[in-house]
């Protein structure tokens, strides 16, 4: 998997930010203060594509949050990618969250599954099965299977994943990005201990979702 020096502004946002900045500067030269709404758009793009570095917890058994956002599901369900019963923990990202996606565990990417789909509100339960999505099936270092699914939302129309089958991921490693509001589901073995509840606010890499037993 390709990596790059960690910028504070995600590389996915550079084209959007550059265009918005140039338009705002040109509009200000022509219209002065009336160009203020364009600067607000530029500020929104700047905050949306921010990608600050994160600190990885010391706990080796921790399963980390793959995204910033709010917990909208902690439940037992079927992991169709891993063909097993699992605990699903879902993180909903609104447009004000950091949208960089990071590996919840260290391990080997066994397979990548992309599915076309709808663009329902990612806060809805049926978004997991009906929306456009991209799933990574990961064998963690302890041999357990962890499935991490990027899901497009109502506004998000672009899932970016830089991990491929055969890649090795480290906890907290950046592996993808979803533009403009979305969701990430993590399917875990039934034996894990969840450390979050519905409504909790979480931060990618720094928040522990669950622990291996």
Count structural domains, the chain.
2
CATH number at residue 132: 2.70.70.10
Are 207 and 184 spatial neighbours (Cβ–Cβ below 8 Å)?
no
Of 207 and 155, the one with more pLDDT: 207
Between the CA of residue 2 and those of 44, 64, 120, 164, 206, what are the distances in Å?
28, 21, 31, 10, 23
- 136 & 71 share domain: yes
At residue 164, the pLDDT reads 94
- 31 & 76 share domain: no
pLDDT digits (tens, 9 = 90+) for 133-156: 899 999 999 999 999 999 986 655
In our burial notation (b when 16+ CB lie closer than 10 A, e otherwise), range 45-70 reads: beebbbbeebeeeeeeebbbbbbbbb
Of 128 and 4, the one with more pLDDT: 128
- 32 & 112 share domain: no
At residue 121, the pLDDT reads 55
23 falls within a domain? yes
Instruction: Please give the Cα distance from 179 to 5 (Å, whole number).
Output: 20
- 93 & 35 share domain: no
* Residue in 24, 100, 128, 182 annotated catalytic: 182
pLDDT digits (tens, 9 = 90+) for 49-62: 888 888 899 998 99
67 falls within a domain? yes
At residue 22, the pLDDT reads 93
Instruction: Please give the Cα distance from 32 to 47 (Å, whole number).
Output: 24
Query: Is 128 known to be catalytic?
Result: no
Instruction: Please give the Cα distance from 66 to 171 (Å, whole number).
Output: 9
- 204 & 102 share domain: yes
pLDDT digits (tens, 9 = 90+) for 9-56: 777 778 888 898 899 999 999 998 898 989 998 888 887 788 888 889
Please report which confidence band the pLDDT of residue 202 belongs to, taking 50, 70 and 90 as the band edges. very high
57 falls within a domain? no
Instruction: Please give the Cα distance from 77 to 28 (Å, whole number).
Output: 53
At residue 175, the pLDDT reads 94
pLDDT digits (tens, 9 = 90+) for 80-138: 999 999 999 999 988 888 888 999 999 999 999 998 866 565 565 665 666 788 999 99
Rounded to 10 deg, the angle between the 14-31 and 36-48 helix axes is 170
- 113 & 173 share domain: yes
At residue 109, the pLDDT reads 97
Domain around 34 = 11-48
């Amino acid at each position: 998997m390709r990596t790059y020096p960690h910028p504070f502004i995600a590389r996915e946002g550079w084209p959007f930010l550059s265009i918005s900045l140039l338009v705002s500067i040109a509009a200000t030269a022509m219209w002065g203060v009336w160009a203020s709404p364009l600067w607000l758009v530029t500020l929104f793009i700047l905050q949306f594509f921010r990608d600050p570095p994160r600190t990885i917890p010391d706990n080796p058994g921790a399963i980390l949050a793959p995204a910033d956002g709010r917990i909208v599901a902690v439940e037992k369900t079927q992991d169709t990618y891993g063909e097993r019963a699992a605990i699903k923990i879902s993180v909903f990202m609104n447009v004000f969250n950091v949208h960089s996606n990071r590996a919840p565990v260290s391990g080997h990417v066994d397979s990548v599954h992309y599915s076309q789909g709808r663009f329902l509100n990612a806060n809805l339960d049926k978004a997991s099965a009906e929306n456009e999505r991209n799933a990574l099936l990961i064998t963690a270092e302890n041999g357990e299977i962890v499935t991490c699914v990027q899901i497009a939302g109502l506004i998000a129309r672009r899932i970016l994943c830089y991990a491929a089958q055969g890649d090795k991921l480290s906890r907290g490693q950046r592996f993808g990005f979803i533009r403009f509001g979305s969701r990430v589901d993590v399917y875990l073995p039934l034996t894990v201990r969840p450390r979050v509840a519905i409504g909790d606010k979480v931060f990618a890499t720094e928040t522990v979702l669950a622990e291996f037993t």
